[in-house]
């Protein structure tokens, strides 16, 4: 079996070398860890292949809050894996909204919009956050107040400067804070909201006996304008067919199970590696790749894209696009040596794995 995060032995003369396409989010750069929770990230600083996308993992203990903050250079797209949270968003123009998020649900935040995430349940909450920049920039509300003098704040709120003297301030964000008492949940939080999307409650646009894909993209969620996500599940007897995305990069997080992938670089280099739970992979735009399940009954991937409506070209449709004469010339064989390839005008995305796993 191939070791996690390595090129297959046959590709590099038997040498095992780390893959540049994968990294562990669980072991990523730790921004915060305390009894309130944790915040880890993978950016281009720690995972250099990232371009246009990055990822964080946020955990919140009961009563913990990700302090109100905003991202200066990118949008955010978040998937809740466990727990129950209240999210509030203040957009430009004074548009404010609050909504509840649970497992299998998502929320979207525009660049610069002030927002907070608050664990309102009795158990820990976990979130996987994708950003539309390889190096996202954050500002915390507490730190932004620390940048201003008492006089400036007094003038801002029509109060005396001395009213702010007792508030301890710093230009370093607090990140995670503790709530005192019970959560305050506004009535509006129980209604639908454009920032919120229950992806796992939707009918899967791609559904087969061996896997499914639910899609958070502009077609189903109009709030998305520069990012999207697929919730992809594949059984051990299924496979994500080899394909490429002509105009979008792909960043995937393994939520459950494990998978083997092969990526081809333009110079012909093949990178075959295994990704396990808590690990992230990245595929640059238009690089061919495939996904198959190993050592698990199924895999669940959260796959983020740097376009609101990702598209792909699969190997099945590619072969159907050309005559057998063109294909025979392409592969340097006689026409009658070609397999009887099925005509496929639209790629199935997930196919059945009828053959055993290659070594």
Per-residue pLDDT of the chain (359 residues; tens, 9 = 90+): 334 444 443 344 434 457 999 999 999 999 999 999 999 999 999 999 999 999 999 999 999 999 999 999 999 999 999 999 999 999 999 999 999 999 999 999 999 999 999 999 999 999 999 999 999 999 999 999 999 999 999 999 999 999 998 888 899 999 999 999 999 999 999 999 999 999 999 999 999 999 999 999 999 999 999 999 999 999 999 999 999 999 999 999 999 999 999 999 999 999 999 999 999 999 999 999 999 998 889 999 999 999 999 999 999 999 999 999 999 999 999 999 999 999 999 999 999 999 998 87
CATH architecture label of 17-197: Sandwich (2.60)
Which residue ranges does the chain devote to CATH 2.60.120.10? 17-197, 202-352
Determine the pLDDT at residue 2.
37
- Tokens of residue 215, six digits: 């899609």
Determine the pLDDT at residue 7.
44
Among 3.30.70.360, 2.60.120.10, 3.40.50.1220, 3.10.560.10, what is the CATH number of 202-352?
2.60.120.10
Q: Contact, 127 vs 79, CB < 8 A?
A: yes
Determine the pLDDT at residue 101.
98
- How crowded is the C-beta side of 137, counted as CA atoms within 13 Å? 4
The alpha carbon of 83 is separated from its chain's Cα centroid by a whole number of angstroms, namely 18
Distance CA 75, CA 221 (A): 15
Distance CA 33, CA 160 (A): 37
What global pTM score does this model have?
0.93
Q: Contact, 294 vs 258, CB < 8 A?
A: yes
Determine the pLDDT at residue 11.
42
Pairing relationship of beta strands 64-71 and 114-119 according to DSSP bridges: antiparallel
Distance CA 122, CA 183 (A): 11
- Name 100's Cβ contacts closer than 8 Å, sequence gap at least 6: 84, 85, 86, 87, 120, 185, 189, 190
Determine the pLDDT at residue 17.
55
Distance CA 45, CA 55 (A): 12
Pairing relationship of beta strands 95-101 and 76-82 according to DSSP bridges: unpaired
Q: Torsions phi, psi of 299, nearest 5? A: -130, 145
Distance CA 274, CA 261 (A): 6
Q: Name beta bridge partners: 177.
A: 65
């Amino acid at each position: 079996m191939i070791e996690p995060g390595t090129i297959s032995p046959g590709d590099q003369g038997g040498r095992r070398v780390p893959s540049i396409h994968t990294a562990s989010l669980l072991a990523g750069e730790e921004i915060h860890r305390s009894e309130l929770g944790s915040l880890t990230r993978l950016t281009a600083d720690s995972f250099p292949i990232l371009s246009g996308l990055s990822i964080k993992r946020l955990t919140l203990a009961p009563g913990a809050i990700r302090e109100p903050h905003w991202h200066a250079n990118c949008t955010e797209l978040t998937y809740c894996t466990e727990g129950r949270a209240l999210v509030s968003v203040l957009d430009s123009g004074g548009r404010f909204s609050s909504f509840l998020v649970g497992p299998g649900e998502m929320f979207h935040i525009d660049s610069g919009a002030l927002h907070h995430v608050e664990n309102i349940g009795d158990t820990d909450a976990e979130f996987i956050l994708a950003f539309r920049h390889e190096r996202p920039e954050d500002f915390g509300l507490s730190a932004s107040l620390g940048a201003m003098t008492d006089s400036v704040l007094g003038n801002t709120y029509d109060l005396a400067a001395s009213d702010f003297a007792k508030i301890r301030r710093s230009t370093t964000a607090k990140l995670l804070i503790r709530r005192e008492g019970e959560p305050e949940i506004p009535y509006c939080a129980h209604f639908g909201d454009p920032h919120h999307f229950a992806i796992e409650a939707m009918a899967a646009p791609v559904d087969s006996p061996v896997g499914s894909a639910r899609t958070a993209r502009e077609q189903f969620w109009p709030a998305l304008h520069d990012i999207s996500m697929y919730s992809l599940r594949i059984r051990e007897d299924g496979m994500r067919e080899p394909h490429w995305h002509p105009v979008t990069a792909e960043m995937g997080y393994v939520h459950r199970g494990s998978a083997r992938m092969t990526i081809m670089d333009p110079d012909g280099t093949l990178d075959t590696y295994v990704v396990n739970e808590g690990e992230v992979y990245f595929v640059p735009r238009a690089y061919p790749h495939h996904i198959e399940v190993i050592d698990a009954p199924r895999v669940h991937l959260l796959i983020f894209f740097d376009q609101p409506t990702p598209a792909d070209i699969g190997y099945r449709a590619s072969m159907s696009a050309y005559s057998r004469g063109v294909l025979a010339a392409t592969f340097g064989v006689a026409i009658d040596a070609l397999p009887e390839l099925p005509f496929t005008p639209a790629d199935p995305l997930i196919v059945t794995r009828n053959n055993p796993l290659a070594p």
